[in-house]
Amino acid sequence: MTDPTAIDLFLASASPRRREILERMGVRFEVLTQQAEEIVHADETPEVFVVRLALEKARSGLAARPAGATTPVLGADTAVVVDDTILGKPRDRAEATAMLEQLSGRSHRVLTGVALVDGERESTRLSLSTVTLRDLDAAEIERYWASGEPAGKAGAYAIQGRGGVFVEQLEGSYTGVMGLPMFETHDLLSDFGIAYQGHWPAES
């Protein structure tokens, strides 16, 4: 494992999209394993759910830090919400098709909760975006499923992939819809005094 003093934070997520966004920001990090049950509690709003789960993931990652490490841990969770119903990751073709048919030609919300913890402090942020998909026909939904992209994606689409051709309008954070909003993440890092921009390479 990398020397904790050589990184800005630990990431409690296996998501390649979250890794990509942190790399784009120039944040030095290492991935930690985490465990969190993605179960919505009774009377829990989607907003409360994503923030709670982000915090639980960060806390789980905290428990997996190397002995003596004080480097903060970042957790995140994203939910696609339509009619106040959270759409998770499709289990199969039929479920993915049903999700995309439900999202077709209308707007939905994408919520991403972000949490940063260090064992003494905990702080959270919430990103809210509204995404409108154009009308999708059965044939392109079938082709999209066959591409393999919808599997493992909340709401059965990926805005940063082929699913981007379905997006008619986006209000909010593109990186938030991807899974880690840059603005809110920067805000958390600044709040914890993590000067990650200090090691941005200067133009030669």
What amino acid positions are annotated as catalytic residues? 77
Question: Which amino acid makes up residue 114?
Answer: V
3 half-sphere exposure, CB direction, 13 A CA radius:
2
Do residues 155 and 121 make contact, with C-beta atoms less than 8 angstroms apart? Answer: no
Q: Dihedral angle at the C-alpha atoms of 177, 166, 156, 83, nearest 10 degrees?
A: 70
For 12, 52, 83, the CA distances from 77, given in Å and listed in that order, are 10, 9, 19
